[in-house]
Structure 1
Amino acid sequence: MFMGEFEHSIDAKGRLIIPAKFREQLGDHFVVTRGMDGCLFGYPLSEWALLQDKLKALPLNHKDARAFVRFFYSAATECEVDKQGRINLPKPLCEHAALTKQCVIVGVANRFEIWSAERWTAFATTAEENFDDIAEKIDF
């Protein structure tokens, strides 16, 4: 399970350190793709396989399903961790998430998310202000 919040910098070559706690769960290879809310989603290969099964089950005759699957898969990349614990993020992914320097890596149960520090701060501030209201609307 991925949890916690970690701050790291992305370098000029698009390399980002993945937290050691996450690397233990991810192994040497995992998938990163466009996420929602302007961030990136990262999945262990086992979770990626489960997600693929769900995406394959989406109805091909629904325009929104086709659009989602295309957009989600088109930027997906298998990442390999180097000896310093870094991955290389392709330019389209960096652009999608507005990653330039400071990043926040957040654990979210079965995946992790990579945010620009600015976007994460804005999201977290709003979520914190509305946390009680959000919790009341969710039936869990």
Structure 2
Amino acid sequence: MRGVFLSHVEKQLDAKRRLLIPQDFRTTANSGSAGPKAATPDAFEGVYCFASIEADCLEGGGAEFFDRYRQLIESYAVGSPARRALEHKIYGGMHRLSFDAAGRITLPDSLCLKFGLSDKALIVGLYDRFQIWEPTAYAAYQAEQDQLAREVLSQRGA
């Protein structure tokens, strides 16, 4: 079984915007898939990251994460408004963030400003991807998601 991103951890963000990515997240991001990697950009030790489409945070992952979005974009016709919007949001906003020798990535200034990341960040595993949150913003989002999860389970009779 390939690695997955699980749990969450709060980490310090230093003055140079460097964030230590947990070892199991680094391993998962660079584990790749069992299939061919020809469609994925040059392999590198790091993560792909962009402003999330679904929440006010950063979203990231490894080569499989990038490939999943590439496949989504390619499912739309060239020149279609949906494809164009996804290309701008994802490719135009995507950053390749390499790990340094200590396992840190350096977050872009623009993304730190956009999401209020200054001295602490919360890294949240979501199976095939992870998110990077400002801790207070995540607490509010998590409360909303907890309520929604209770409602979903209640509707299913769980």
| 1:38-95 deviation line (CA, Å, top 9, x unaligned) | 1111121133123212212224454344223302222211111112211011112223
Aligned to 2:108: 90
Aligned to 2:135: 117
Partners of 1:17 and 1:86 within 8 A in 2: yes
RMSD over aligned Cα atoms? 2.0
Partners of 1:75 and 1:93 within 8 A in 2: no
Rate the CA distance shift 1:54–1:68 in 2: closer, same or farther, 3 A: closer
Q: Secondary structure at the match of 2:125?
A: strand
* One-letter amino acid of the counterpart of residue 111, structure 1: R
Aligned to 2:96: 78
Specify which of 29, 43, 57 is matched with residue 46 of structure 2.
29
User: Structure 2: how far apart are the matches of 1:96 and 1:133?
Assistant: 31
Partners of 1:15 and 1:89 within 8 A in 2: yes
* One-letter amino acid of the counterpart of residue 59, structure 2: F
* One-letter amino acid of the counterpart of residue 26, structure 1: A
* One-letter amino acid of the counterpart of residue 25, structure 1: T
Between the aligned residues of both structures, percent identity stands at 25
Aligned to 2:58: 40
Aligned to 2:37: none
Please state how far the C-alpha of 1:99 moved relative to its aligned partner.
1.2
Please state how far the C-alpha of 1:129 moved relative to its aligned partner.
3.1
Partners of 1:16 and 1:89 within 8 A in 2: yes
Q: Give the TM-score taking structure 1 as reference length.
A: 0.86
Q: Which runs of 5+ in 1 are unaligned?
A: none
* One-letter amino acid of the counterpart of residue 137, structure 2: R
Q: Which runs of 5+ in 2 are unaligned?
A: 31-44
Aligned residue pairs total 138
Rate the CA distance shift 1:60–1:2 in 2: closer, same or farther, 3 A: same
* One-letter amino acid of the counterpart of residue 150, structure 2: D
* One-letter amino acid of the counterpart of residue 28, structure 2: Q
Partners of 1:41 and 1:114 within 8 A in 2: yes
